[in-house]
Amino acid sequence: MVKVRRYQAADKDALVQFWQTVFPDDPVHNAPARVIDEKLRVDDLIFVAEQPGGDVAGTPYLVGACMAGYDGHRGWLYAVAVLPDQQRRGIGKQLVLHSIDTLCDLGCVKINLQIRTDNTAVAGFYKSMGFSIEDRVSMGLLV
């Protein structure tokens, strides 16, 4: 049974490895260790999905993760991912719902996310959860 919980400092190495595995082509500014450290300077809205391990001790291992943000106006979901061999088991939905519940508890009334244009498969997942495509242009400035 998968458990979704808030990130803990002891998860850092596993989360870095997880994000490097699921986002192998991310740009340098999205390096997982850096992102985790930067996020924790602001808040601790990082969530992980862990599953009991297959080793003798049953050590849990990360099968999913999500980072959330809230600026007092809008909430955001970032870096939502589940290991490919664990997809289509409800883990992503658990992670997103947990993140939404946490953001709502903070007073959030609208949650946004961005997906890469070439990641069309995940658009259906988010649509099934009530998200809709909005007519926007995403812009960024790397400083």
For residues 102 and 141, what is the distance between their CA atoms, to the nearest angstrom?
A: 28
Show the domain range for 9.
3-128
Residue 78 has pLDDT above 90, yes or no: yes
Q: Classify residue 136: in a domain, yes or no.
A: no
State the pTM of this model.
Answer: 0.91
Residue at 140 is within a domain: no
**135 is a domain residue:** no
The verdict on residue 142 lying in a domain is no
Residue 138 in any domain: the answer is no
Rounded to the nearest integer, the mean pLDDT of the chain is: 92
* CATH number of 91's domain: 3.40.630.30
Model confidence over 90-135: pLDDT tens digits?
999 999 999 999 999 999 999 999 998 888 889 999 999 999 999 9
Secondary structure (3-state) at 105: helix
Please tell me the total count of domains within the chain.
1
Residue 143 lies in a domain: no
Which residue in 39, 51, 60, 41 sits closest to 87, CA to CA?
51
